[in-house]
């Protein structure tokens, strides 16, 4: 299959019809039909079956689409790079970060960086801990900003700063909070648990077990963002990272660090054979400054 065959197949598969594919590619419907038939002739099997309202992909088409989608992404990246060069852009930064860092710290750092690097383009993504290595391997991103360096993976990292777990609560639920909140003070209160939220959740679980403290878990939230939304809705209190708490602050919400404190590191992670570029290094320095300022 040529790139043209791949482009047309991808468009028909994504739009579900020849007419939709033609509109997305800005070509005529007969042109799409002709290229699609030629692709099927080369492959030796049909890619779609006609059905009421459009085209239905065959099982072979479903199998083929995963590889085709990857090729399309790479072609798009190449076109974007060419466009950046035409427009005089000096580079493209592909940065992924955990959702908690993407709520406030990452966009704020990008805005600050662009103020002095106006020719740079950004491809910013959120990523969950279990997908970090895959995104790096598959070249979906160049740098991942996370809390734990994946063990037994060919990656390197640089330390960006330190984060801390805090208690997020409604003011009406704790009208006179202390400077730091002990776990004992959370007993008997509805608790939104982030224990299943990856390495930070495991850190919290280990501390609860060490102190032999059992909290009244009413909801288990797999992301800190969901946990903070549940706090705002009045479901209970939550322990989240300080980045999420800072981004979630609204009238009637407050947060305090724990006693004893629970801190953890923030790392910029990359493949060993693909160290950050000079631009990426400059961006990561600003990111570290933003992390340390919270």
**Average confidence (pLDDT) over 91-116:** 91
Q: What Cα–Cα distance (Å) separates residue 221 from each residue in 201, 235, 264?
A: 10, 12, 20
Asked whether the bond before 260 is cis by omega within 30 degrees of 0, the reply is yes
**What is the predicted pLDDT for the residue at 293?**
87
> What tokens were used for 209?
């077990």
152 pLDDT above the threshold of 70: yes
Which residues does residue 145 pair with via DSSP β-bridges, in sequence order?
97, 268
**Average confidence (pLDDT) over 151-162:** 92
**Average confidence (pLDDT) over 210-225:** 90
Band the pLDDT of 32: cuts 50, 70, 90: very high
Band the pLDDT of 72: cuts 50, 70, 90: confident
Q: 3-state secondary structure string, the chain?
A: CCHHHHHHHHHHHHHCCHHHHHHHHCCCHHHHHHHHHHHHHHHCCCCEEEECCEEEECHHHHHHHHHHHHHHHHHHHHHHHHHHHHCCCCEEEEEEECHHHHCCHHHHHHHHHHCCCCCEEEEEEECCHHHHHHHHHCCCCCEEEECCCCCCCCEEEEEEEEEEEEEEEEHHHCCCCCCCEEHHHHCCCEEEECCCCCHHHHHHHHHHHHHCCCCEEEEECCCHHHHHHHHHCCCCEEEEEHHHHHHHCCCCEEEEEEECCCEEEEEEEEECCCCCCHHHHHHHHHHHHHHHHC
Output 197 or 95, whichever has higher pLDDT: 95
Neighbours of 192 (CB within 10 A): 25
Neighbours of 107 (CB within 10 A): 15
Poorest-pLDDT segment among 50-54, 238-242, 290-294: 50-54
> What tokens were used for 95?
């940065």
Output 121 or 186, whichever has higher pLDDT: 186
Q: Count how many residues are written for the chain.
A: 294
Which residues does residue 258 pair with via DSSP β-bridges, in sequence order?
181
Poorest-pLDDT segment among 78-92, 113-127, 154-168: 78-92
**What is the predicted pLDDT for the residue at 90?**
57
Poorest-pLDDT segment among 72-81, 89-98, 211-220: 72-81
Model confidence pLDDT, tens digit, residues 110-129: 999 999 988 788 889 999 88
71 pLDDT above the threshold of 90: no
Poorest-pLDDT segment among 78-92, 147-161, 267-281: 78-92
Gap between the Cα atoms of 97 and 105, Å rounded? 10
Model confidence pLDDT, tens digit, residues 227-264: 999 999 999 999 999 999 999 999 999 999 999 999 99
Output 75 or 239, whichever has higher pLDDT: 239
Q: Is the pTM of this model over 0.85?
A: no
Model confidence pLDDT, tens digit, residues 188-197: 999 999 887 7
Band the pLDDT of 150: cuts 50, 70, 90: confident
Gap between the Cα atoms of 25 and 224, Å rounded? 40
Counting beta carbons within 10 angstroms of the beta carbon of residue 173, is it exposed (0 to 12), middle (13 to 18) or buried (19 or more)?
middle
88 pLDDT above the threshold of 50: no
**What is the predicted pLDDT for the residue at 80?**
66
């Amino acid at each position: 299959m040529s790139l043209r065959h791949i482009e047309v197949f991808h468009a028909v598969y994504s739009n579900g019809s020849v007419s939709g594919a033609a509109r997305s590619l800005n070509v005529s419907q007969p042109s799409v039909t002709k290229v699609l038939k030629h692709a099927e002739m080369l492959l030796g099997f049909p890619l779609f079956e006609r059905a009421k309202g459009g085209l239905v992909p065959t099982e072979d088409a479903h199998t083929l689409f995963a590889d085709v989608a990857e090729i399309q992404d790479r072609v798009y990246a190449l076109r974007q790079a060419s466009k950046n060069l035409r427009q005089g852009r000096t580079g493209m930064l592909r940065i992924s970060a955990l959702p908690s860092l993407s709520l406030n710290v990452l966009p704020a750092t990008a805005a600050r960086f662009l103020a002095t690097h106006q020719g740079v383009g950004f491809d910013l993504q959120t990523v969950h801990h279990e997908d970090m290595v895959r995104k790096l391997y598959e070249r979906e991103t160049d740098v991942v900003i996370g809390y734990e360096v994946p063990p037994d993976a060919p990656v390197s990292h640089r330390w960006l700063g330190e984060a801390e777990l805090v208690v997020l609560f409604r003011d009406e639920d704790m009208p006179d909070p202390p400077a730091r909140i002990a776990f004992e003070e959370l007993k008997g209160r509805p608790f939104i648990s982030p224990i299943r939220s990856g390495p930070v959740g495991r850190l919290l679980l280990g501390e609860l077990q060490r102190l032999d403290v059992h909290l009244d878990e009413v909801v288990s939230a797999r992301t800190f963002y969901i946990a903070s939304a549940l706090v705002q809705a009045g479901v209970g209190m939550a322990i989240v990272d300080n980045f999420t708490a800072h981004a979630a602050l609204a009238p009637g919400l407050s947060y305090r660090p724990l006693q004893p404190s629970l801190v953890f590191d923030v790392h910029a992670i990359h493949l060993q054979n693909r160290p950050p570029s000079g631009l990426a290094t400059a961006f990561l320095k600003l990111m570290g400054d933003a992390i340390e300022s919270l």
